Amino acid sequence: MLVEIAMREADDLSDPRFHGDLMLTRGGAYAADGQVSAALADFQKAHQSFVEAQDQRGQAVALVRLASLYREGGDFAGSLRYYRQAEEAFQSDPGLLLSIYNGRGNVLNEMNRFPEASAAFIKALQYAPRDEAAVRVRILANLARAQLNARRVDAAADTVAAGMRLAEGAEAKEIRSQIYSVAARVQLERGNLSAARTLIERSFDGIPPTETTLAMRDNHLVAARIYQRSGESEKAVEHLLALRRLDEQALSVATSAKAALMGARFDFQNQELRIARLKAEELRRNVEFERSRTRFQQILFGGIAAAVAILIGLLTFGLVTIRRSRNEVRAVNVDLGIANTSLEKALAAKTEFLATTSHEIRTPLNGILGMTQVMLADSALEPATRERVDIVHAAGMRMRGMVDDILDVAKMENGHFTIDTTIVDLPATLQEATRLWEEQAQGRGIAFSLECADVPQWIESDPTRLRQIVFNLLSNALKFTHAGSIGVRAAAVGEGDRRRLQIVVHDTGIGIPADKHAQIFESFRQVDAGTTRQYGGTGLGLTICRNLAVALGGTIQVESVEGEGSTFTVDLPLVEAPAPVMVDAGQGEAAGMLVLDRNPIVRGMMRTLFAPHVLDLRFAASLEEALDELARGGIARVLIDEAALAAGTDDPKLRVEPIASAACAAGATTAILWPNLDEATRAALKAAGLDQVIGKPVSGARLVEALFTTKRGNPADSPLVSRAA
């Protein structure tokens, strides 16, 4: 009860050492009461508490208690183990060491390991205090018993003698009882029956055999043997019965202790089993974990490997596909290249063909035209024949126009095409380009207008190209307009660098369907076949216009409503130029210059080229017109184009004669433009009285230079393409 109260307080205090002491006390109480299991549990708790408190002495005490419990339970090996642990745990307390070695001796004795038991008791004696007679007597009795068991009767006799001496002064009866019992046994071993009898009777010291305790078990055993030997059977039986009582008592204690120990051990084993199972479980889990980790790794690596494989596959596929498509593209490109080359060759061949054929046609055509011109110049010609020849001449002229167009396009496509920028009198150029068409329009009752007041007079451009564009657009306008009006309007739009020149040619003609607007600018394309039948043409005019506009850095666009009319807008860069200084290159009082050229475009071009240099610039389309102009007077110089001369003969001298002599008579100098000039022709022309012979083709700039600079070179060598048609 007291222990329980202390327990509660100990719990409150929660001091492990105090708790350990309490457990030892309670365990001791349980052990004394025969409650081995409870005692065992308490001793174990006590040991645990002392471990917590790091109290080694306490731990050793608990271990000694456990060892004695195991000894009672008959588990001698376990008991020895605890004693050894107790000995290792704490060695500084002699009292504790005494009980450890005494205990060990008892266990070893019961294990029939008598010499070891004797050694243990001798060690115990070393730690037994000299003044503690009772303790020393008990140990000596134990030693003597071990010696007797080991058949060392003399040694036992000595030990007993020592014990007997100490016991004389001892107070406790039980102590004396023990040593007397062993002494009796020594006498019995030695055959001194009576001495043995006396000693054993003294050991009981008047305690009846029926009331002895377990501590006197050995006494009963010795007494029974002595009485058997002495023939006192009754007494022997009496002690044998007492022995059986005590053995039964010991057995029950041992059994309960053993049962408790067994239980503890069973629990321990269970515990071990559980631990083993847990370990196995843990191991299994570890194995499982390792396995799953391995599996995961396998899956991971497998996945990665698969992904890599797929990636490689895809890359390979991609590469193969790319390579294949690249090869295909390459093959297609090669095919395309071949096709392009063949196409280019075909186009070049076509252009070449057109150029050569046109040129070839042009030469005999010039012959025909020259002859018709000669015939028409004959005043004796009958009117009916004149009319027919006139038709042939007109048809020939149209034909030459076409051939010229073809030649132009061929040149553009061959790249033999340049732009000659010079200072241009824009209003004059436009007037020149429109004059012919204005006359035609008026003749057909179609209103004609030219608006160019808003544009600067002098600009930088190529006058020939400008004129060609306007000329072609007006040619179409007149061709496709039956009534209404035709107008040309030039205007400057925009500001600064973005200033543009817009030339708009408008008509109220048949118009062009919207879906044909793009197509009409392609070469040889017309709105439909009916156009050719009704209006003729080659389908090259707008192609030339577009190429020229682009070459001048501009564009051409069409707006048209079928049946209402068309508007062509040419948009070009506008670069204003300062007015040129007029230079009168004429001689004497005469300042005029006459140009004989049958081609109106070329005439327009020349007007633009020469206007800055000549105050009185006149033009003639035929020999007759030229002779008329010379007759009017005021002409200081004449420029003759070979194409304007009669083509009746191949002799250059004969061909130039009429105009050369007329010019000479008028006192004008002469210059002639001659195609494919060779030295013989040049000499012949010079011999015919011409002052200057210029080979064609020649650029406008070189022509101006040749005509208007004092140092006269020979521009016939110029490689530049002629602007003349």
User: Residues interacting with ligand ADP, by CB under 6 A?
Assistant: 476-477, 480, 507, 509-512, 520, 526-527, 531, 537-543, 566
Cα 336 to Cα 123: distance, rounded to the nearest angstrom = 118
Q: With beta carbons less than 8 A apart as the criterion, state whether 678 and 691 touch.
A: no
Residue 470: CB minimum distance to ligand ADP, A? 13
Closer to ligand ADP by Cβ: residue 510 or 644 = 510
Q: With beta carbons less than 8 A apart as the criterion, state whether 60 and 96 touch.
A: yes
Residue 548: CB minimum distance to ligand ADP, A? 12
Closer to ligand ADP by Cβ: residue 235 or 506 = 506
Residue 503: CB minimum distance to ligand ADP, A? 14
Which DSSP letter does residue 170 get? -
Residue 673: CB minimum distance to ligand ADP, A? 28
Cα 111 to Cα 104: distance, rounded to the nearest angstrom = 10
Which DSSP letter does residue 216 get? G
CA distances from 109 to 120, 184, 379, 387 (A): 10, 19, 179, 172
With CA atoms as reference, report the closest residue to 603 among 590, 585, 621.
621
Could you tell me which residues come within 8 angstroms of residue 309 by beta carbon, excluding any fewer than 6 positions away?
none
Could you tell me which residues come within 8 angstroms of residue 97 by beta carbon, excluding any fewer than 6 positions away?
87, 91, 123, 124, 127
- Backbone φ and ψ for 172, nearest 5 degrees, come out as -70, 125
Residue 475: CB minimum distance to ligand ADP, A? 7
Residue 542: CB minimum distance to ligand ADP, A? 3
Per-residue burial over 177-192, b if 16 or more Cβ lie within 10 Å, else e, is bbbbbbbbbbbbeeee
Closer to ligand ADP by Cβ: residue 184 or 527 = 527
Residue 514: CB minimum distance to ligand ADP, A? 12
Residue 540: CB minimum distance to ligand ADP, A? 6
Closer to ligand ADP by Cβ: residue 261 or 527 = 527
Closer to ligand ADP by Cβ: residue 52 or 564 = 564
Closer to ligand ADP by Cβ: residue 543 or 692 = 543
Residue 708: CB minimum distance to ligand ADP, A? 35
CA distances from 549 to 409, 463, 514 (A): 13, 12, 22
Q: Tell me the residue type at 472.
A: N
Q: What is the dihedral of CA 514, 517, 523, 528, to 10 degrees?
A: 20
> Residue 605: exposed, middle, or buried by beta-carbon count in 10 A (0-12, 13-18, 19+)?
buried
CA distances from 684 to 643, 647, 697, 714 (A): 17, 16, 19, 16
Closer to ligand ADP by Cβ: residue 510 or 672 = 510
With CA atoms as reference, report the closest residue to 376 among 365, 366, 385.
385
Q: Which residue has the tokens 């050995």?
A: 218
Cα 370 to Cα 650: distance, rounded to the nearest angstrom = 12
Closer to ligand ADP by Cβ: residue 20 or 487 = 487
Residue 526: CB minimum distance to ligand ADP, A? 3
Closer to ligand ADP by Cβ: residue 268 or 535 = 535
CA distances from 321 to 312, 313, 326, 335 (A): 13, 12, 8, 20
- For residue 594, the SS3 value is strand
Q: With beta carbons less than 8 A apart as the criterion, state whether 486 and 474 touch.
A: yes
Residue 455: CB minimum distance to ligand ADP, A? 22
Residue 604: CB minimum distance to ligand ADP, A? 19
Closer to ligand ADP by Cβ: residue 101 or 480 = 480
Closer to ligand ADP by Cβ: residue 126 or 534 = 534
Closer to ligand ADP by Cβ: residue 47 or 465 = 465
